[in-house]
Chain A
Amino acid sequence: MDLVANLAHGFGVALTLNNLLFCLIGCLIGTAIGVLPGIGPVATISLLLPITFGQPATTAIIMLAGIYYGAQYGGSTTAILLNLPGEVSSVVTTLEGYKMARRGRAGAALTIAALGSFFAGTFSTILVAASGPLLTQVALSFGPADYFSLMLLGLVISAVLAQGSVVKSIGMVVFGVSLGMVGTDVQTGQQRFTFGIPELSDGVGFVSIAMGMFGIAEIILNLERPESRSVMSGKVGSLMMTRDEVRRSIPSVLRGTALGSILGILPGGGAALASFGSYMMERKLSKYRHEFGSGAIEGVAGPESANNAASQTSFIPLLTLGIPANAVMALMVGALIIQGIQPGPRMVEAQPDLFWGLIASMWVGNLMLLVINLPLVGMWVKLLAVPYRHMYPSIMIFCAIGVYSLQNNVFDVYQTVFFGIFGYLCSKLRLEGAPMLIGFVLGPMMEEHLRRAMLLSRGDVMVFIERPISATMLAIAAVALGAMLLPNLRKGKDAALAEGG
């Protein structure tokens, strides 16, 4: 029972008063940051890093991890309450979460987001502890061709995110991919579709698109239909989940956790796929799939669990290979290296306090977030009782400052105006924003993996079929596409027949 002994050792480290305190600070700050649009965890963590100077490495890392999870929690709060997704994973949460809030079930949506995430966090912490090094092999078995196919599958299933016509939403996915091509070509340095605008040379800003197409467009639409917003601010609803909601959420949380745990291990895009992969799964597997689009609790429970599970397991490559998958993890590596610790395969033996302490504190952090967030649900929901005429200018200003602060450049503000108007137009034409955003995020990664796969295969496309992982992904994508298109085609044919008859 090595695992138990190790975990006990870890809890011994994590549960010291000092570490608990820093874990709490991290979680609080992270939650606050997640709520603010445009302010990401990287900037905050860097700002707060000095607090941990003079503290042991374990303490610093525990606080950083707290901020990281806290930001994930906070992000879903604004997505549910205000339709403001600050990052890719919360785009999915807006789909059902915001609809639930409009039905007066904001309390239930926030509660299940917190509970689901906690469960997922607990499960994936155990997973990391029990089989971290083994799971690294999963990450290492993915080559460029496999990543490309995984992302292609992601794009195909993201069309399911849409409520309306599948063809239109695939169209939007592809448009998102095209939009992702704007900027400097990573490989050749060629400026593509930038019209000589230097601000576009690093691509169109994700936050600008998300704030414009979701936040600003939603404000405009709400102002256009005064009747719906009076309903919204009037109906706060019960905070508690009903027994039925609990019952419906359990299988979704389990599925989301499993999917998220696997995808999180894959560096470079896996975690981004987790939440909407889970959404897709729920829409296909849930008994209540007809409720999707009007606020189905499964559509919050699954993706939120998946997201949190993925953010835990994405530590595995860092801890076992020593290679950070994203900027937040790079900060952690930085913090370790400054203290003279090199993350990597030897860290488990060389620094057992740090390794097991971190794993235990992952769980403690999740517990703390639950304790912080459940009472806050009531407060957040009260925010909805603020009259909308006071609400919308505040949302607008927060978006504007957040967007500006990304680069300290007003160009981003104007870009957001543009996407606000575009988002309004899209919603009038029933073109969906969520698939477009996912295409936008995955597009550039796909291009990179596609190029690399072809370089390695000497230009042979068969590589996508010869590699078993890739072939499986492509097969699933094909089946999913067929399953989605068939009813659509049949409906079209029926309509045509009805027309003819």
Chain B
Amino acid sequence: MSWALRRRIVLAGTIPALLTARAATAQAWPAQPIRLVVPFAPGGTTDLVARLVAAGLQERLGVSVIVENRAGAGATVGSEIVARSAPDGYTLVMSNIASHGISPSVYRGRVRYDAVTDFSHIALVITNPTVWVANPRAGIRTLQDAAARAKSPSGLDVATSGAGSSNHLMVVRMGQLIGKELNHIPFRGAGPAMQAVIAGQVPMMSDSLPSAASHIRQGSVIAVAMASAQRHPAFPDVPTFREQGFDLASDSWFGLSAPAGTPAPIVERIHRETMAFLAMPETRARFSELGGTPGDLTPEGYADFVRREVAAWAPLVQASGATPD
């Protein structure tokens, strides 16, 4: 490049550069794109809901919200990344029943964050029941079929979104009710697990309703049982576990959290915008289609909720004997 040209570029470039950079540091939050870590592989409920929330926040905050999938080890890998990040409001995690409820007990001693104290919890986004689905060609229509298969010499394989998820515990507890251990097949998230079920590699799966909903409607899998107290309004034909003689119910929940020490005004702002997004009629419609209930907790309420969940799951995990190995 010639000297003359380079000089021109320098003159043209430096001055606005100086001005803009100065201006940027003075701006209030949010001045930069926000990263929203999803601790599961694409295609599961966490991912699905995170993308909805990201789009909503993006519109309201006026900056991009980038969803980043960091799967592994019962959602603890992605959550640890966020726990370690700077508490500047630019890194959030889709906290959930696995990463901030069950995994700390299942992965005893291997989780390097405290689900309560290492995070500024912001908002509960969605709660939804768990549903058991089966491949249409697997010959499993009811839980009785499943129990019979489990007791047969071949046993029953059940896919889940990973060890440490509420689905994992469902599989362990169901095995105890049947009296025969189920063969738990963990995946990196509900997306890959669902694919294995549709392909028929694994006959059955325990999944959060939102990620399973569209596959049930499209007929690629059949819903065998809903782990809720009553039949779900969006799927009135699907009997509950209790109706089929197994006393199990399991809700999973998903929320937004930031690293501990995130300034209160930022937490407050994200919470406010999330609540406004959840209150929109479109969001409500979409959520009920997915089979989920929007959350309505304050940041303190959500932090308290997480604390209670962690405490409540510890003895349950202990009793079930669920381990990641």
Which residues of A does B touch, CB under 8 Å?
42-43, 46-47, 49-50, 53, 139-144, 184-191, 198, 201-202, 267-268, 317, 321-327, 329-331, 333-334, 337-338, 340, 342, 344-346, 386, 448, 452, 455-456, 458
Contact = CB atoms under 8 A, between A and B. Distances in A.
B52 interface: yes
A322 B195 CA distance: 9
B156 to A, nearest CB: 11
B51 A323 contact: no
Given A46-B33, A198-B84, A322-B214, A186 B71 contact: yes
A198 B42 contact: no
Contact of B70 (A50, A202, A330): A202
Contacts of B202: 456
Nearest to A53: B59
Contact of B107 (A142, A189, A322, A324): A189
A146 to B, nearest CB: 10
B163 interface: yes
B72 interface: yes
B81 interface: yes
Nearest to A340: B286
Contact of B66 (A43, A345, A448): A43
B110 A338 contact: no
Contacts of A333: 42-43, 51
Interface in B100-125: 103, 107, 110-112
Given A202-B77, A322-B215, A46 B72 contact: no
20 contacts: A42-B68, A46-B64, A46-B66, A46-B67, A49-B64, A53-B59, A184-B73, A186-B71, A187-B73, A189-B76, A189-B163, A191-B112, A202-B81, A267-B195, A322-B215, A323-B198, A338-B51, A338-B52, A340-B286, A458-B155
Contacts of A327: 42, 68-69
> For chain B, what secondary structure do more than half of its interface residues adopt (helix, strand, loop), or is it mixed?
mixed
Nearest to B74: A189
A47 B66 contact: yes
Contacts of B188: 186, 448
Interface string B157-180: 100000110000000000000000
A140 B76 contact: no
Interface in B103-158: 103, 107, 110-112, 155, 157
Interface string B76-112: 1100110010000000000000000001000100111
Nearest to B58: A50
A188 B42 CA distance: 20
Contacts, number: 146
Interface in B178-210: 183-188, 191-192, 194-196, 198-202
Contact of B43 (A47, A330, A338, A346): A330
B48 interface: yes
B191 A334 contact: no
B110 A189 contact: yes
A134 to B, nearest CB: 15
A342 B183 CA distance: 31
Contacts of B199: 139-143
B324 to A, nearest CB: 4
B293 interface: no
A346 B80 CA distance: 38
A337 B107 CA distance: 33
B51 A337 contact: yes
Q: Which of B68, B183, B199 has the most CB of A within 10 A?
A: B199
A300 B281 CA distance: 53
B73 A268 contact: no
Given A189-B73, A202-B72, A338 B325 contact: no
Contacts of A187: 73, 163, 186, 324-325
Contacts of A49: 55, 58, 64
Contact of A188 (B71, B214, B218, B325): B325
B76 A184 contact: yes
A380 to B, nearest CB: 15
Contacts of A334: 48, 51-52, 54-55, 67
Given A47-B33, A334-B55, A190 B286 contact: no
A338 B112 CA distance: 34
Contact of A331 (B67, B186, B286): B67
Contacts of A142: 199
B77 A184 contact: yes
Contacts of B71: 186
Contacts of A325: 42
A346 B191 CA distance: 18
B273 to A, nearest CB: 15
Contacts of B298: none
Contact of A317 (B58, B68, B195, B218): B195
B218 to A, nearest CB: 5
A161 B214 CA distance: 43
A141 B196 CA distance: 10
Given A189-B111, A322-B218, A345-B218, A50 B80 contact: no
7 tightest CB-CB pairs across the interface, nearest first? Answer: A330-B42, A334-B51, A189-B73, A140-B199, A46-B66, A189-B107, A189-B110
A438 B76 CA distance: 26
Contacts of A50: 58, 64
B200 A140 contact: yes
A418 B309 CA distance: 43
A184 B325 CA distance: 13
A185 B110 CA distance: 10
A427 B282 CA distance: 58
Contacts of B67: 46, 330-331, 334
B18 interface: no
B73 A324 contact: no
Contacts of B52: 334, 337-338
Q: Which of A50, A187, A190 has the most CB of B within 10 A?
A: A187
Contact of A344 (B103, B215, B325): B215
Given A46-B33, A322-B218, A344-B218, 14 more contacts: A46-B64, A46-B66, A186-B72, A188-B107, A189-B103, A191-B112, A198-B112, A321-B198, A330-B42, A334-B48, A345-B220, A386-B1, A448-B188, A458-B183
